[in-house]
Structure formats: structure tokens, C-alpha cells
Chain A
């Protein structure tokens, strides 16, 4: 389960995020809010078009609540919430608990050995802590012992029973996601299965059982490989954010640092649950075909069973220190050259977040200033984007663009600053501002198009701090003036407030014009590329040098029209010789 809202997917969602921070003139979302005695809250929106209900809840915890050593635990925990309860997921609860306890004993020994292996790694005795070939004999022995306990537990498991019960009942789309501020869980159930939802969700919130904990850690490591390690921009974008946030707990990615994910223990997960999954930190949300009175009664009955947490979850006290120096990063990636810039702005519901949202929209889209300025007029970029991201504890503004052929990321960067300078020096014309407000106003209707979209907006708004934003944001956007936009442009878009990521293509990947191939025909270029690839497989520098000598001797006989090809080929051979460490 899971979707981490990572940087790139957020780009795709930017419009939704921005636009949903608004409400038009009249279109209020009729949310009914109920408080349970244990501190849990319930939000309800009735919609009777189709016999389904979108049900979900948000835990007010994300990776920004973590600390070094347990980064990634909020997300790993999200995965664990699907593993069952005392009665769901096992044939024999007591035996299951016994095995889990034994597993933890072995794991404790493994953790000690892991500490030892980390020490060996620090001393250069182990190259790669994830390489199974370099595990110590003791660790291999303990792993084998642990595996036996996993097999024993598997005998008792009723695999993914939590999911199966829902699926058999006609529920669908069950999933969850973790961001830096919140963890959201959601599902669609047929309208007659509301009570099943109450049963299932209250059971897992009340007493979840974390089975298959360590296999799930491996799943998360695979998720990390899929989302970050194996994608062209994944690791560089993580590095960029880590450079941007200095003291803030937003500086690590939601999926966590690999070393932490590998080390998180079940005891730490238990502790995390007791602090952050207490009723006073949870909001339930229902949207769809049900009667609010019935739902409220049922919620009190089912969720009211869960005792209030003894202590409220702690607040995050670490504030981002004001940035005093411009930050720059140069990354070589397997992607087209591009620039990506962050500025520190303001958190959720800050008065400046509304003019910043308007400013982002002024810059965005085909009639936005970036596209008109950088893509259509200046011709330095092929595409651009901009958005304001108001998080719970802090906020950022992000602008970026891809460089056109023959232009550099720095050209795009300068183009962006020129557009921002215009916003600082000249007031936005009334008609242009009205266009943006019209778009926000129309979104007031579009955002109501499905149960699921309303559910997700409420999960996000409440997770960031206040669901009422769904109805408060719109009028605030409509009240933004041209002077407001100018003021925030001047205030936030300064040199020392930004962190610039310059991305260039990693040499040897893609099709950037190789200077060695200048003057060749298309077919000749392809042939040279093929030959160069073949040369990569030749590891005998001596043989290559011989060939090179021979070619030099023949150079005079080559017909004129073949000369560029011949010379390019020689250059490639020479390059390979150099690569192999041979000198001419």
C-alpha cells in the first residue's frame, strides 16, 4: 500500500493542490463535523448520486514528525496498518504472538550484529552493507534462524485477510499515502457496507498487529529503488531538498534514509503507534451515499471504544533557520538539461499563502508568464512550471524549466528571474488577475466532481491543520490584490532565499551532439555509435593500439568523403585506449 507524494508526482498535482486552496462565491462544501468523546473527529458529506461511499481517515503525522535514526517510520508504519488485528490475519493469535516475540529476540541479536557490521564498514572491512555476500557468518546464521520463525508464522497467517474481507464485500481502491505532514487511508465501499467500514477501520486503529514487519521493510526498500534510485531525477531531487531545508524536519525524504529504514525495529513502530495513532490525532471522513445521523451513531459505537491517548502528540518545535546564503547544486543526470529553484515562503493558512498561490498561477499554464516569456518569446525553454507548497510547519515556492536545444539551464534560470523582476516592479494588470480568479472560481465547481476527490481534499486540508480551508480558501483568493502579489514577489524572491538546482545531462547518455561526430551523415553517426559500443567490449588496450597504428598508416588512402568517418572512428578507439588506462 502506499503512495508517497514525492516531488515529481506533486508537480503533476500542483494544479489541484493550488486550485483546491480556494472557494468561490457560493459553492460551500456541506461538511458536518462531529467530535467523539475520545477526541477523534468525524467529517461527513452526504452525496446520493451513486450507491457508494468513499471512506477514509487522516493521522496527523508524517515524516516531519520523525528524527534521524527513524526516518521513514511514518511511511513504513502506514504499510503495517494493513497487516491485520488479533482476529484478522491469523489462525491462532496466541501462537502468532509467541512467534512474533521470538522473532524479536532473534532480531535483537541481529541488530547487535548489524552494529558490528556497521563498524566493519566504517573500518573499510565491508564494502556494501546491503550486499548479501558480505554478511558476517554470525549474521547469516541469525538470518537463517529468523527465516525459520518467518516460515513458522506463515503457517498461521491468513494472507492479506484485511484486504480480502473488504474485496469480497465489494470494496475497492483501498490504499494509503504518507507525506511529510500527514498519513491518509482511504477506500470505496458499496453504500450498504458502511458498518463493515466502521468495523474494519476501528479494529485496526484500536489494535493493529504488525506481522511480517521485516519483509515489509524490504518492500519499502524496493519502493525506494523504484521511486528514487532507479529514476533519472530521483536521487538528485532528494539531494536538492536536503540542501534547501537546513534545520527543518522536511530535509529528509518521506521514504526515509536507507540506513534508517533498514534499522527500524518493531518496538520503535509500537512506540510510534502509541504516540501518533491515538484518537485525538485522527480525523475520520465519509463522503457519499449514507445518512449522517446513522453514520454518527455507528462511529460513536465503533470508534468510541478506543481509549484516548494518555498524552497528546508532541508539536514539532524545530523551525527552519532563515537562509542567509544562496545555495546552488550541480547535478549530472540522465535527463534533458533543466533548472529547478526553491524559495522559502510561508506555511499553510499564512495570509501570504494566497497571493503566492495567485502568483504561481500567474506564472503557470500556456497563457502564464513563464510559458509566454521563456518558451514562446525568449525561446530558452521547452517547458516550465511553478507552484506554492504551503506545508504545515513551513512553505516553499518552486519554479523550474527544461532548457531548449542549444540553451543552458542557466539561461532558463535567468529567464525565470526576469519574469519575477517584472512582477516585483510592475503591478499585474486587472484583466490578467481576473483570469486567475475566474479559474479558481470555476474550480469551486470542478472540485465537487466525485466522492473520492472531496475525500482527498478533506484528508489533505485536515492533515495540514484545518479542513475548513475547503470553504475558507476561495474567498481569500478572490480578495488578493495586484499590490499583494507585488509585495510577496518582492519579499520572497530574493537571491539569498533560494536554492538552485542545475541539472545537466550525464556525459555518454542520450543523444547530445558528440563533437567527434560533427560533419558526419546520419548513417555514419549511427555506425560510429555502434562501433563505439563494440569498442566498450574490447578490454585489450594493446590490441586497440595496434589497430590504431595500422589505421594511421592507411589514413592517406581514405577517399575524401570518408575521411571524417575514418577520423571519428580513430578518435573513438583512442578514447577507449585512454579509458583503459593505456597511454598513446
Chain B
């Protein structure tokens, strides 16, 4: 009996195999010959998920009953711009320790043990211009989880031993500031892009961290961690009415009356055009080329998105990747970004990493491509590829319920929902409307190689020497000066360099 079945299966699979190869003859030799059903997708609307809680706190609730999990994100408009002078690092330390320094009823150790036993994930933090408390747990534990979250938000304990430990970890990390050339590049990039005095560049130092006391944490917490600064995004296994009631309880009777957090200041100042070179003994140079950019609500935003995608944002379909990587084998990664800022213009940046000797040549390719972008219209094919990509990948913005809640929560927090409520609804149409002209216009307007601030981190001698096969030298690439940027002391951030000796 068994044997017979086996034979039949073998016979069937031969049949299938024969039919398959007959069909295979119809397979076209180019993919354009395939036809596809249209893709229908309408994005969810923020208004359908938006709830106003007591006191005007906005929450986005996106139920999803497929798994017994709930994901709660309490975001706050509280950022590092609120660090008092001399206490840089206070916001970030406060944010971290809300969930890691114990609460009114639990020591830090008890809290950690309980959350780990429930297999719940709880964390808090403040970074950039915002902060959050995030809790992901099994829905059966929702009661306990929310009461712990309430204590974490309203009554953190800030245990002294945890403050001391965290400070020690921060300083250990700080000591590695000059170890990795990528870290040096990132730090100097932001200094050059926004200026040393811009709020996001007031970096913590050993002395600023040392000066922070438990009282500072408590004062910062009481002043800013307030429901009036909250936006809440919840996705997962819950009933909307029930969750609304739970969230109202989460934010009720706040024990402190603090302040509404101000927006971060918008006064960035980009460095003067030139080449900024940090000497670091590694065999690969890291390069960032920067130009003044735009803010997110700029009318040129969509044209810039498409233009940048064609130039260097689109990975392997972009010009920078094609020339620097595929043609020349000069880098593993090469690309560009228009970092349209929320509260202040962000820079346009183009980046790559290449062996020391080929740094000048690869940089010259970027400059050529910036110029070509401004001088010549893009091809129909390039424009079409970029537009189709933005339009057809659009559904992925809403790939999961927690992504939807997070996206809408973030739009609420950064003011996009108030200013531009139809942003997502109109997104595809606005992309589709971009023409070759629009692309060239913004390229002309923003991509001016003469204004470029070029940061290079790597082996100075070899980079300046260049490559025997290519005549271009680093100093040919800017009309501005070559500025040697000294490394900074990791703990003080003061330049370690050969400045005039101090008189004794």
C-alpha cells in the first residue's frame, strides 16, 4: 500500500515537472513584458485614531488583536535643549534613570526583577528634542504594567547608587570618543553643520556630568515631565474605550505642576566653506560634504526628496553609488541625504569612506555630480524610477499597527498634524507632480559646490598626497582654506593641539 503511494507521487511529480517546463517557454526575456494588477492602498487617517484625553493630552490608539501584546509609547516634548548651562547631559541622565533608578514603591532592583519576570520591556530616555517612556508587555499584565508606568513617569526614585553607576558608564563611554574614526566624523560633522553653540552641540563633558546631582534630576523631572508635554501612542491587544479610561488614569492627579516645554531654538550656523581635516591614523578616510539645507515644511521639500534620491539617496540606483562604488570600486558605501530639519534647517550631506590615497579623487566625483545635477536635467528614466519608488513603497510606512501609532504620535509631537493634516494623504500626489524642471531648479538652488564644507577624517599625510593615477589633490577641491581640526580631549572636548604655549 505504502509502496504504491510512493510510485504515484513520483509519477505525479514527473508530470508536474513536464508541465512546468512547457509553461517555462512562455516566460518573457525581459521583466517589462510582465503585467501586474494595480496595487490599491489608502493610508489610514490620523483622525480615525486620535483621542483627546483629560487635560487635552492627545493619544493615538490602534488596536490589533492578532497577538496578546500591548505596546505603549508615552512621548514627551522634552529634549536636550532644556539642559541648563554647565549641566550638559542632565536631560539624558534624567530620561535614562526614570526607568532605571527605582520608583516610589520599588527599588531599581525590584523594578527590574519584576519587569524581567513578566518578560515586559520597559525603558525611558531623552534624546535630541524629545523623550519617551516605552512599555511592551503581554496584555494579561496590563494592570500591573500601567501602574508601574505611572510611577516611572510621575514618581521616579532616582536612587543615588544608580546615578553614580550611570555617570560612571557615561564617562567610560566618553573616554572612547576618539577611538573610532566614525565617531570623530559624526561629532565634527555636527559641529560644522550647526555651529559649536547650537543646542544639540552642547555635548556633555566629564565636568558637566560630575556636576549633576540628584536634586538636579528631581528638579528637571518635576519641571518638564508633565502630561501637558505628553503625546501617547498605543498599539496592540486592547479595547479602545477601556484603554482611553486607563490612559486617563495614567495621567490623572499629577503630583507636580511644571511647565510647557519650549521648542528648541532655531539658530544653526554652518561653518565657512573649506576643507576640514582631522588627522587620525587609520587606513580609510571618512568624508562628509555638507551644504546648507532646508526645513521639513519648505515648499521645495518634495522636489528635494526626489532630487536627492537620484543623486545619492536611492542606493544602487543613485548616481553617487554608481560612480564611486560600481564604476570605480572606491568605496563600500557612498550616498547623500537632505536632512530636512523639523525645527531648524538641516544640512544636505554626501558621504563615503575610501582608502586614504583615493579620498581626493572620490571627493572630486561628488563635486562633479553635484554640478551635473544642477547643469543638466535628469533623465526620464531616473525621474520615473525615483517617483515610482516613493509611491510604491509608500504602504510600508504603515506596515504594522505600532508603526501607525508611532507615525501619527510623532506627527502630533512635531506639529505636522496641526500644520499639515493631509500630509500622508497627499504624499503620493505631490511626489507624482515633480517634474525634471523642479528637480533641476532645486539642484541649482541648493547644490553649490563652492559653498561646500568638506570634512575629512583620516591619515593626513596619505590623503594630502593623493593617488598616482589621479592628479586631483584634496586642496583643489575647495576655494576655501584647508583647516586642520585638532582632536578634542575626550573628557573636556577642548582641542588637543599645538596652540601657542601658555606663558608661565
Give chain A's interface residues, CB within 8 Å of chain B. 1, 37, 49-52, 82, 87, 132-133, 154, 159-160, 163-165, 167-172, 174, 188, 190-193, 195-196, 199-200, 212, 214-223, 225-226, 229-232, 300-302, 304-305, 334-336, 365-367, 375-376, 382-383, 402, 404-405, 431, 434-435, 438-439, 441-443, 445-446, 448-451, 509-512, 522, 526-527, 529-531, 533-534, 536-537, 558, 562, 565-566
Find out whether the CB atom of A52 lies under 8 angstroms from the CB atom of B317: no
Q: Which chain B residue lies CB-closest to A162?
A: B316
> Are the C-beta atoms of A442 and B138 separated by less than 8 Å?
yes
Instruction: Determine how close the nearest CB of chain A comes to the CB of B231; give it in whole angstroms.
Output: 22
Task: Determine if B471 is an interface residue (Cβ-Cβ < 8 Å).
Answer: no
Q: Is A133 a contact of B468 with CB atoms below 8 Å?
A: yes
Q: What residues on A are CB-neighbors of B23 within 8 Å?
A: 301
A232 and B181 CA atoms in complex are apart in Å by 9
Assess whether A510 is in contact with B179, with CB atoms less than 8 Å apart.
yes
CB neighbours (8 Å) of B357 from chain A are: 132
**Is B463 engaged at the interface, CB distance under 8 Å to the other chain?**
no
Q: A222-B329, A232-B179, A435-B116 are in contact. Are A188 and B353 (CB under 8 A)?
A: no
Contact (Cβ within 8 A) A37 B20: yes
**14 more A-B contacts (CB under 8 A) besides A218-B330, A530-B497, A534-B497?**
A52-B395, A132-B469, A170-B389, A171-B393, A172-B396, A191-B39, A199-B31, A230-B283, A366-B112, A439-B119, A450-B399, A451-B399, A511-B491, A533-B497
A230 touches B181 (CB 8 A): yes
Give which listed residue, B31, B328, B497, contacts A200 with CB less than 8 A: B31
At the interface, yes or no: B69 with Cβ under 8 Å from chain A?
A: yes
Contact with A along B478-504 (1 / 0, CB 8 A): 000000001001111011111101101
Q: Is B6 an interface residue (CB 8 A)?
A: no
Indicate if B17 sits at the interface (CB-CB under 8 A): yes
Contact of B4 with A by CB under 8 A: no
User: Shortest CB–CB separation between residue A116 and chain B, in angstroms?
Assistant: 20
Partner of A438, one of B118, B317, B395: B118
The residues of A that contact B180 with a CB separation of less than 8 Å are 231-232, 334
Given A196-B34, A230-B284, A510-B179; A527-B502 close (CB under 8 Å): yes
Given known contacts A37-B20, A169-B392, A226-B284, A87 and B30 CB-to-CB distance under 8 angstroms: yes
Taking the complex as formed, is B5 at the interface, i.e. its CB lies under 8 A from any CB of chain A? no
Residues of A within 8 A of B136 (CB): 446
Instruction: Please state if A132 and B468 are interface contacts (CB–CB under 8 Å).
Output: yes
How far, in whole Å, are A362 and B315 apart by their CA atoms in the complex? 41
Contacts of A226 in B (CB 8 A): 284, 332-333, 353
**Cβ distance B275 to chain A, nearest Cβ, rounded Å:** 20
- Contacts known (A190-B395, A301-B24, A509-B178); A438 close to B119, Cβ less than 8 A: yes
Q: Does B322 contact A (CB under 8 A)?
A: yes
Closest Cβ–Cβ distance, residue B365 to chain A (whole Å): 14
A-B contact pairs, 5 of them (CB 8 A): A132-B357, A219-B329, A509-B179, A531-B502, A537-B498
Structural contact, A229 and B283, CB atoms closer than 8 A? yes
The segment from B147-155, B169-177, B335-343 found at the interface with A is B169-177
Check if B16 is an interface residue, CB within 8 A of chain A.
Answer: yes
Question: Chain A: which residue is nearest B20 at the CB level?
Answer: A304
Given contacts A154-B327, A215-B327, contact A562 B504 (CB under 8 A): yes
Write the B17-56 contact mask toward A (1 if CB under 8 angstroms, else 0): 1001101100111110010111111000000000000000
Q: Given B30, B355, B385, B395, which contacts A164 in the complex, CB threshold below 8 Å?
A: B385
The answer to whether B384 and A168 have CB atoms under 8 Å apart is yes
> In the bound complex, what is the Cα–Cα distance between A76 and B264 (angstroms)?
46
Q: Does B391 contact A (CB under 8 A)?
A: yes
B27 — which chain A residues lie within 8 A by C-beta?
199, 301-302, 305
Chain A residue nearest to B285 in the complex (CB):
A230
A219 to B330 Cα, complex, angstroms = 6
CA distance A1 to B326 in the complex (A): 11
B172 engages A222 (CB within 8 Å): no
CB pair B499–A405 under 8 Å, yes or no, is: no
Check B316 against A511 for contact (C-beta < 8 Å).
Answer: no
Enumerate chain A residues within 8 angstroms of B30, measured Cβ to Cβ: 87
Sorted from nearest, which 5 A-B pairs have the closest CB atoms? A170-B392, A218-B329, A442-B119, A534-B498, A215-B329
Tell me how far the C-beta of B184 lies from the nearest C-beta in chain A, rounded to whole angstroms.
11
Most buried by B among A1, A222, A438: A222
Neighbour of A222 across the interface among B31, B354, B492, CB < 8 A: B354
**In the complex, what distance in Å separates the CA atom of A214 from the CA atom of B165?**
51
Pairwise interchain contact B396-A50, C-beta atoms closer than 8 A = yes
B355 to chain A, nearest CB (A): 6
Q: A160-B326, A226-B332, A301-B27 are in contact. Are A49 and B119 (CB under 8 A)?
A: no
Nearest chain B residue, comparing its CB with the CB of A131: B357
Q: Is the CB of B119 within 8 A of A334?
A: no
Q: By the criterion CB–CB under 8 Å, are B400 and A168 in contact?
A: no
Chain A residues contacting B66 (CB-CB under 8 Å) are 49
| Chain A residue nearest in CB terms to B316 | A163
Contact of B317 with A167 in the complex, beta carbons under 8 Å = yes
**B284 pairs with A222, CB closer than 8 A:** yes
B67 interface contact, C-beta 8 A? yes
Cβ-based interface call for B298 (8 A): no
**Alpha-carbon separation in the docked complex, A579 to B182 (Å):** 30
Q: A382's closest neighbor in chain B, by CB?
A: B172
Does A167 lie within 8 Å of B389, measured CB to CB? yes
Specify which chain B residues have a CB less than 8 angstroms from the CB of A443 in the assembled complex: 119
Task: Verify if B134 is at the interface (C-beta below 8 Å from A).
Answer: no
A196 in contact with B497 (CB, 8 Å) = no
**Complex: A116 Cα to B17 Cα, angstroms:** 52
CA distance A213 to B9 in the complex (A): 44
Max chain A C-beta neighbours (<10 A), residue from B100, B329, B330, B494: B329
> Which residues from A are CB-within-8-Å of B398?
50
List of A residues within 8 angstroms of B67 by Cβ:
445, 448-449
Report the minimum CB–CB distance from A124 to chain B (whole Å).
22
